[in-house]
Chains A and B, each alone.
Chain A
Amino acid sequence: MSSITDPRQARPALRLSEGTSALATQPLPARVQIATRQLFKSYQKGSFGIPVLQGIDLEIYEGEFLAIVGSSGCGKSTLLHLLGTLDRPDAGEVHFDGHRIDNLPSASRDILRNKHFGMIFQFYHLLPELTALENVLAPALIAESTLGYWFRRGEHRRRAAELLELVGVSHRMKHKPRELSGGEMQRAAIARALLNKPRVLLADEPTGNLDRSTGKQIMKILGELNQQEKLTIVMVTHDPWIAEQADRTVKLVEGRIQGA
């Protein structure tokens, strides 16, 4: 557990494109880690668009455990993808540590996703060809060159093993995902999300596919990570009981944050 240190000290400064340097000189209030400004997103269905997000203003504080709730299909995943730079908004901005990130070139966004955000999904999204341990190692494999990985492979493996131990699936390290239960897969996915010591964990219905008691265990792990590691967690769920575990809950209704 001690190896998961305060991520801010362990991490080199973010490299950002020059267009954002003006904003960098006037940082947002220090405690706000992620902020969105009037986010709009719609999906094109044939010739007309379906509006999904219609002006999201949201501030996420460093170290908090935020739950975003809303009915199925209201755009929770879409919002999370925008926060995690997997997609670009039609309009509006996303800021991370005071820097605008939604318009970064794809190479920088790849680095953000690899090093600064960890993501977990409802369907775990492990790579079926790799073992649990290799899946956990994937972010390191992606970050490093072949030679670099080869030199630090012991270090990486040790950390991956520790993380698997932390989430409680160290006995399944050599197993392929199809040989794991849902809970075990989600634990491995959490370990994978933590490998590169991210500062934010984005969780898209992490318990959506699990029974209640397994979901509880997953929630316990997330709660501990938030408490002990001061990891910022943004969790999306449609389950009010799960949302109760969070520090703060916001509701997504008709493409807007309710009460915002």
Chain B
Amino acid sequence: MAHIEEHKETHTVQKEKQNYVMLDLGKTPKFGMPAFIQVVKRSLSLELLKGLGVTFREMINALFKGKMHTTKYPFEKLPISPRYRAIHEMLRLLESGHYRCIGCGLCEKICISNCIAMETRYDENQRKEVSQYTINFGRCIFCGYCAEVCPELAIVHGGRYENASEQRAGFSLFEDMLTPIDKLKEQKEFAGFGSISPNADENIKKTPLAY
């Protein structure tokens, strides 16, 4: 019994916290006369005009109070969450500018849809270097496993979500994904899968747990 009591308590507490209002819709009339009376009541109380009032108020809000919703998309963009898994990026080492990938092949191995293809070889210093690295974005399901498994934080998900291209190979070559050497200073560390978006505070709402 105790746990039920407890549950009731949290229930009421939550009820007090959230102010959800149940609309008073009244009874739905089942037969002729009450239905008729309801129609007459609604017509005489001019409910239709209230609807007109709401849209007019919204128009005034939009035009004169700066509450327009439109984002002029190609010119303006909304911030996306750092967790968002868009086209991959290959990062570089900040000190030397060399790419981070050590050619371990873990990403290729874990890829759930088998879409990473890579070839490696030894360079003149007998270190492993990546000679070929492509992701077939026609098959990638953007699951994020490759980024999670990478021991060097070399492959990460970037923010490029506008991925329409003229060729199937668009975005998918190693050089396309690699941070350009002159942009090295702007390279950002992937915040990771548990990270929160920069505007997280604005987005927080009370979660309704009890209905």
Q: Do A and B bind each other?
A: no
